[in-house]
């Protein structure tokens, strides 16, 4: 790994893998989050002092948003279509966001287990504008494993 002590990863070096295969060039990854409920358990100690323990509750599903330039990437487009058509037997896949160091070596993984695409939105199309066309895809997942 090329990171030296006190170095941090940069936000511009990342990749997306689906079922272990890098399938897409991305412009942006945002809103990667997952939440777990908490349970407060108030009780009294043996000496009568009130205490509160906080326990883990139900884990919620997570979401992630990716922005990609509109390309001819068949694998990613197929995954989106399978998801939107409700073909869950093939649409649920394991995806990973891979953080890369300065030498483009993988350093950190965000594994999105049983992930599928729940939403797609295209950028604005405007006559005469010099801009790329992009798609924003929302990915939902059932489990997040950070490695």
Domain spans in the chain, listed from the N-terminal domain onward: 14-146
- Of 6, 16, 7, 4, nearest to 99 by C-alpha is 16
- State the pLDDT at residue 100: 87
Element (H, E) at 31: strand 28-33
CA separation, residue 1 to residues 15, 17, 20, 48 (Å)? 17, 20, 20, 53
Average of per-residue pLDDT values in the chain: 89
Average pLDDT rounded to a whole number, residues 124-141: 92
Please count the other Cβ atoms lying within 10 Å of the Cβ belonging to residue 83.
24
Summarize pLDDT for 81-129 with one digit per residue, the tens: 999 999 999 999 999 999 888 888 888 899 999 999 999 999 999 999 9
Terminal CA-to-CA distance of the chain, rounded, Å? 15
pTM: 0.84
Q: Which fold has domain 14-146?
A: Pnp Oxidase; Chain A (2.30.110)
- CA 117, 118, 124, 125 torsion-angle sign: positive
């Amino acid at each position: 790994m090329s990171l030296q002590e006190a170095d941090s990863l940069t936000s511009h070096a990342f990749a997306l893998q689906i079922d272990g295969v890098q399938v897409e060039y991305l412009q942006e990854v945002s809103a990667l989050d997952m939440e777990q409920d908490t349970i407060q358990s108030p009780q009294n100690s043996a000496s009568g002092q009130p205490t509160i323990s906080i326990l883990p509750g139900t884990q919620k599903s997570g979401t992630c948003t990716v922005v990609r330039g509109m390309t001819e990437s068949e694998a990613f487009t197929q995954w989106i279509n399978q998801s939107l058509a409700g073909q869950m037997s093939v649409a649920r896949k394991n995806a990973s966001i891979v953080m890369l160091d300065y030498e483009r070596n993988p350093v950190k993984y965000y594994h999105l287990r049983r992930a599928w695409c729940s939403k797609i939105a295209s950028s604005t199309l405007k006559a005469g504008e010099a801009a790329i066309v992009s798609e924003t895809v929302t990915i939902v997942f059932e489990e997040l494993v950070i490695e």
